[in-house]
């Protein structure tokens, strides 16, 4: 599946690993993937979430509030949690549903929102951006981008 990831999506995964390591968490959870999406700064997720008042620092504060920071990290390699694996799998389904031939940041964000109850969705909800609204925004941006390509 990772061979379908575009450069931005690959960078998001690297940033999510770095976020988990910096917090000394034992696994890469959906919340770290959300941090990775926003860590791109000018990436797709930032374009969708920043106008809603969601940025990397606010998400990081929510992650620390919910999960804290560990004191020690013994592993150099971190595994994805089952929830993160599910979000990554859902990103593939989102890509297919949009008839895209790649997995990008937009699909990763949609994959995180799929169940609507996971840690990433809860963080967005806590920060005033219900997952349903974020999903609408993502779909709107994707549709506008498709229209721009056709013109």
* In the chain, where the domains are located: 2-150
The Cα–Cα gap between 51 and 112 comes to 19
pLDDT in tens, 115-132: 888 899 999 999 999 999
In b/e form, how buried is each residue of 113-124, taking b as 16+ CB within 10 angstroms? bbeeebbbbbbb
Q: Is the pLDDT of residue 90 over 70?
A: yes
pLDDT at 75: 67
Nearest 5°: CA angle at 150, between 147 and 151?
Answer: 90
What phi and psi, each to the nearest 5 degrees, are found at residue 28?
Answer: -95, 110
Q: Is the pLDDT of residue 44 over 50?
A: yes
The Cα–Cα gap between 85 and 96 comes to 17
pLDDT at 141: 85
- Averaged pLDDT of the chain: 89
This model's pTM is above 0.85: yes
Q: Which fold has domain 2-150?
A: Double Clp-N motif (1.10.1780)
How far does CA 52 lie from the centroid of its chain? 15
The Cα–Cα gap between 11 and 101 comes to 18
Q: Is the pLDDT of residue 151 over 60?
A: no
Identify which of 58, 59, 54, 49 has the alpha carbon closest to the alpha carbon of residue 16: 59
């Amino acid at each position: 599946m990772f061979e379908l990831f575009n450069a931005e999506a690959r960078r998001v995964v690297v940033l999510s690993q770095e976020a988990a390591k910096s917090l000394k968490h034992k696994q890469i959870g959906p919340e770290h993937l959300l941090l990775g999406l926003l860590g791109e700064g000018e990436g797709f997720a930032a374009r969708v979430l920043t106008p809603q008042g969601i940025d990397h620092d606010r998400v990081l504060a929510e992650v620390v509030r919910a999960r804290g920071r560990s004191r020690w990290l013994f592993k150099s390699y971190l595994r994805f949690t089952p929830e993160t694996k599910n979000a990554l799998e859902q990103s593939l389904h989102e890509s297919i549903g949009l008839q895209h031939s790649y997995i990008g940041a937009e699909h990763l964000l949609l994959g995180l929102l799929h169940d609507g109850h996971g840690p990433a969705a809860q963080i967005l909800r806590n920060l005033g951006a219900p997952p349903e609204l974020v999903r609408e925004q993502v779909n709107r941006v994707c549709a506008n981008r498709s229209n721009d390509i056709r013109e």
